[in-house]
Amino acid sequence: MGNLGMPELMMIMFLALLLFGPKKLPEIGKQVGKALGEFKRASNDLKRTIEDEMEKANITAELKGITDPPKPDPSPATPTPVLAEGAVAQEKVAPEKALEATKPS
């Protein structure tokens, strides 16, 4: 849904005027304003309550010595090589040992 522009708002106001009449329209406006104010007040109270409870939980955790869980090591683990079926993994041999293996005994 997009934003309402001036022509759309004018059309809505005109329809409201036709439906409710000029005497009832101010009363409806007051009721809608009060309802929106009450909704805003209630949502602010809920937000404040949640923030207070989170603050209490953090203080309690600090008093008990509970800290945040340890963060995982950012360096990834070395993946193990995946071989095709029937393939044999070749072992890396140090160059000194490779020379010894090629010397005739």
Which residues of the chain carry a pLDDT beneath 70? 1-2, 66-105
Mean pLDDT over all residues of the chain? 78
**Contact predicate 50/58, CB 8 Å:** no
User: Could you give the CA distance from residue 87 to residue 66 in angstroms, rounded to a whole number?
Assistant: 50
pLDDT per position as a tens digit, 68-97: 566 666 666 666 666 666 555 555 555 565
User: Could you give the CA distance from residue 93 to residue 69 in angstroms, rounded to a whole number?
Assistant: 41
Q: H helices within the chain, ranges in order?
A: 6-64, 95-102
